[in-house]
Structures are given as structure tokens and as C-alpha cells.
Amino acid sequence: MDKHSTNKTLDECLSLRDGHLWIEEQDTTALMSEFGSPLFVVSEDQLRRNIRSFQEAFSQGWTDGPVKVMPAAKASWSKAIQRIIADEGCGADIYSPGELDVCLNAGIDPQFISVNGVPKTEAHIRRTIEVGARLTIDSLEDVEMLERVTQELGKTAYVRIRLRPVLTDFNEPSDFVAEGLIPTDIAALGYKGGLSFDEVMSYAPKLMDMEHVEVVGFHEHHGRHSRTVNYWREQMRAYAQEMGKVCEALGAFQPKEIDIGGGFAIPRDPFNAATDYNAPRDLRWLNSISKFMKSVAPSKRYPTLQKIIDSVVGKPNEIMAPTIMEYADVITSTLKQELPAAGIDPTGITLQLEPGRSMHGNTGIHLATIQALKSAQAPIAWSHAISDTTEFWFTGGRYEHHLHDYIVANKADHTYTEKFDICGRSCYGDRLMPAIMVPKLEVGDIFAFLDTGAYQEVSCSNFNAMPRPATILVKGDQAHVIRRAETLEEVFHRDIVPEHLNA
């Protein structure tokens, strides 16, 4: 991305105009003036564009039956966002009772709500059956509770069996694992979701015979192990073979629905971009030189180490991920080839998908204000810009080792000449953006983290008793608060002090 252009379109919802970052028809600096700092900002139109792109791309490739886009509610579960998703005719992938409620209240058709997750409570399963949502079986305990609840309710439960096909032919390193280079086929086995063939067959015959249960299909979700289309090609090949194996074992069962889960990359793809698998080697080199020069005078030792440190520059992903159309083409063509080979007729099967990060990621940005600057010159030059946000409001991204693309929103046309650590306000190191290039910074500058629409705001915590920031929904030149900033009083609203401590 050329961050130095005066006027430039960055993507469908972001642009640079007269040195400022705009989201749709809103100047981000004006949003900060109106609503305060920091802010999460979401584009309604970008969300609608993403939904339609998924629907169109997969419908074009899957002509054998209907296609249903069921965005992962966990990625962004606010009421307003789910209302937009319902308005676009989508279903939903939900994990918790809370997510089920917000999706139902938004108006999403329950027959297109996929109730996933392990473990589930009996109350959650009961509610799923009562409203007519799809129950994804992901443990033997699910089956036992399902049998009790359906007998009590006397109402049909529509269920899918969650599989965990082994990705035998994809052993490229998994992006899920930041600790080291672990092959994806091995890393996927360590993920708790899904059931092996043996586990499935330990209960599936019983499930098929239950009086008030209809098995309508299969579900799988491996997650975002790799951005490549080859990962999806192997995933769909393995999925089709595993479905065929289960169908044969169940007496030529034919599914009505196939859910492929999610895990598609965001276009700029910040996922695991903060991880450098060469870093352990490089840091050992730094450590070795430092130890070797321990007896050398600091006046000579630190300038040597400075040269090594100066060579380290944090850079977001510079290669765009595959497009939605490219993912759709590989997935649908692979399924159309592999399903018949596995003994499954694709005619009439509903194809379902559950994009989360790729649905919401590029709909959102996070805006923060630089509030303090520090630049040490000795013994090693190191500069910190401390903002009014924190990694505890990016918890999802920190778990996934994101390195977001970024822009200094009020200096978008300035040349990036200085290296700074962009830090958060918590008492932790809170090193949000390490060693990145920025223009000459001043207190009051607005720092924009791009692609924060998925998993970030919904994973905010109150570490250091910090009230969480507001979320603004932008539609064209209109801006609306959809989640107000938390007050200090609200941070403590769950606290109860026992009477004996008030004496």
C-alpha cells in the first residue's frame, strides 16, 4: 500500500483524501472529534458488500443446490451488526446461548442458525430444539442430552454431525501455531472441534434411530490454518472422502446439507503476521553477540548491538490473500468432483459456509490518539509512542498474533521516516505495533489500525479497570453509535461487597 498519496482509494470503503483517512464518506479525524477517542468504526456498506460477494461467488460455483451464507456471530455479535446480517437474508454460525439470542432477536431464520460448539449445556440444546435451529453434534455428551430433551419435548431436532477429516496431503506449516513450524495436518488434529470417524461411528447409528431426531447433514470447520487455496482444496477433498466413508457406514445415507465452516483470510490478512519463524534464530544471534561482548566497554558494545536492532522493522502483510471468488471456485469445484467419487450425489444439497474474519475483518478500523512520545538515545536508540488504546481491546488479535496494516489518519500523505513502537496504555508492555515506520509523530496524532472488524471489539476486556470504547457504524456520510463507550461505574457494576466488609 502506498501510504504517501494525497488522494487514493485503498479498498471499497477506505480512502485517502487531502492527507486524511476516510471510511466511506466520513473523515476519520472528524469521527474522533465527534465521538471521542479511542473508537471502533464499522462500515455497514462494506459488510453488505462482503455478504453479497460470498453469496454470488459460491452460488456461481455451486449450481447443484442452494447456497446459504451463515456468518460467524462470534466475530461481531452486536445487535446492529446482526440486524444487518438478517436484513441480507443470511443465517448464522453461533457458539453460545447469548449468540443464539442475539441472532434470533435480529430476525435470522432459525432453520439457518447453526448451533456449534463443545461443550453444550442441556439448556442450550433445549433452546436450540425449541426454536428450530440446527444442532451440530460435536460430542457423545451432545447425543445423550439430545435424547433426553427430544423425548421430553416430543419435537423433532434437526442435527448435523461435525466431522474432523485428516488433512493428509496438506503438511505446510500452520499459521495457527505461533510457537514453531508445525505441519497443518498435525496442528488440525490438536483443535478440539470435530470428531474422528471412530468417534462418529460410536454414536451415529443410535442417532439415526432416535424417534425425534432427523440427521440432515454434516459440518466441519478447521479454521484459518493457511490463506492458500491449496489448503481449501485439500480440506474439501478430505471432507468429501470422510463424508462418503460415514455415509457408507450408515447404509448409503445421503446428506441434505453440507456446512464447510469458515477460515477464509481477510484481503490484507493480518493473521499471524506478527510471527517471524526466523526470530528465534535471529534473537539467539543477538544474544550470542551480546554475551560475547559482555567484557567490552558499553561505549563499543551498544553501538554494535544498535546496528542489529536497527535492521529489525515491523511490516504488515504486503501480499494480498486470495479473493472470495478464488476461494469459492476451488471449494465448489473440488466438492463437485470429490462428492460423487465418495458416493454422494450433490444434486439438491444445500451448501453452507460460515465466514467470520473474512466477513467482518475489512469492515472495521480502530482509531486511537497518540498521547505520549518517548525517544531514548542511549545506550540504544529506542522510540515509543503511547496511545489511548490497549492490547486488551485487541484480545482476539493478540491470541492470533495479528500485525495490522495501519495509517496515521491525520498524516496519511506524510513520508514515513521514523521507527517507533506503537504502545497501548495498560501497565503491560502493550507493544501493539513493534518497530514500525511512521511519519514524524506528535501528541494528538490519530493512529488507525485497519481490518479490526472481526474478533477485536467483541473480545475487549476491562484489564486495569479500563472502560471499553464505543463502536460507531458508518453508512455513507452518516455515523451512528451502536455500542456506547462504557462508563467507569459500569466497569464495577457486577461487583458485590459482602456486608461484613462494609462494617
Least confident of 178-187, 367-376, 485-494: 178-187
Residues 482 and 367 grouped into a single domain = yes
Q: Is the pLDDT confidence value at 172 over 90?
A: no
Residues 152 and 240 in one domain: yes
CATH number at residue 120: 3.20.20.10
Residues 455 and 400 in one domain: yes
Placement of cell 475489512 in the chain: 362
Please check whether residue 39 lies inside any domain of the structure.
yes
Residue 484 CA: distances (Å) to CA of 35, 65, 134, 426, 491: 10, 42, 33, 21, 13
Give the integer Cα–Cα distance in Å for 90 and 43.
18
In this predicted structure, the answer to whether residue 278 has a pLDDT above a threshold of 80 is no
Q: What is the pLDDT of residue 289?
A: 80
Residue 137 to residues 213, 215, 349, 381, Cα–Cα distance (Å): 12, 10, 19, 56
Distances (CA, A) of 30 to 36, 389, 468: 10, 18, 21
404 shares its domain with 482: yes
228 and 159 inside one domain: yes
What residue numbers bound the domain in which 286 lies? 279-310
**Do 180 and 305 sit in the same domain of this protein?**
no
Is 63 within the bounds of a domain?
Answer: no
Residue 467 falls inside a structural domain: yes
The model's pTM is 0.94
Both 340 and 391 in one domain: the answer is no
Residues 406-455: tens digit of each pLDDT: 999 999 999 999 999 999 999 999 999 999 999 999 999 999 999 999 99
pLDDT by residue (tens digit) across 206-244? 999 999 999 999 999 998 888 999 999 999 999 999 999
DSSP per position, 353-411? E--SHHHHGGGEEEEEEEEEEEEE-SSS-EEEEEES--GGG-HHHHHTT----EEETT-
Q: Is 262 found in the same domain as 141?
A: yes
pLDDT at residue 54, as a whole number? 98
Question: For the purposes of burial, counting CB atoms within 10 Å of the CB of 487, is it exposed (0-12), middle (13-18) or buried (19 or more)?
Answer: exposed
Structural domain includes residue 88: no
Per-residue pLDDT, 1? 43
Number of structural domains (the chain) is 3
Confidence band, pLDDT 50/70/90 cuts, at residue 360: very high
Q: Is 80 a member of any domain?
A: no
> What is the Cα gyration radius of the chain?
25
Query: Which pLDDT value is given to residue 282?
Result: 61
For helices 197-209 and 229-249, give the axis angle rounded to 10 degrees. 50
Do 233 and 351 lie in one domain? The reply is yes
Q: Is the pLDDT of residue 196 over 70?
A: yes
Q: Clarify whether residues 329 and 399 are in a common domain.
A: no
Q: Is residue 234 part of a domain?
A: yes
Predicted confidence (pLDDT) at residue 321 exceeds the cutoff of 80: yes
H or E stretch covering 240: helix 229-249
- 54 in a structural domain: no
**Residue 256 and residue 216 in contact, taking contact as beta carbons nearer than 8 Å:** yes
User: What is the tens place of the pLDDT at every residue in 18-75?
Assistant: 999 999 999 999 999 999 999 999 999 999 999 999 999 999 999 999 999 999 999 9
Q: What is the predicted pLDDT for the residue at 283?
A: 64
Same structural domain, 225 and 337: yes
Say which CATH number the domain at 374 has: 2.40.37.10
Identify whether 66 is part of a domain.
no
* Residue 467 binned pLDDT confidence (cut-offs 50, 70, 90): very high
Residues 193 and 337 in one domain: yes
As a whole number of angstroms, the distance between CA 313 and CA 319 comes to 17
What confidence tier does 181 reach under pLDDT thresholds 50, 70, 90? confident
At residue 330, φ and ψ (nearest 5 deg) are -70, -45
Share of the chain above pLDDT 70, in %: 96
pLDDT of 277 strictly over 60: no
Determine the pLDDT at residue 176: 78
CA 173 to chain CA mean position, Å: 19
Identify the pLDDT of residue 4: 52
CA distance linking residue 224 with residue 455, whole number of Å: 13
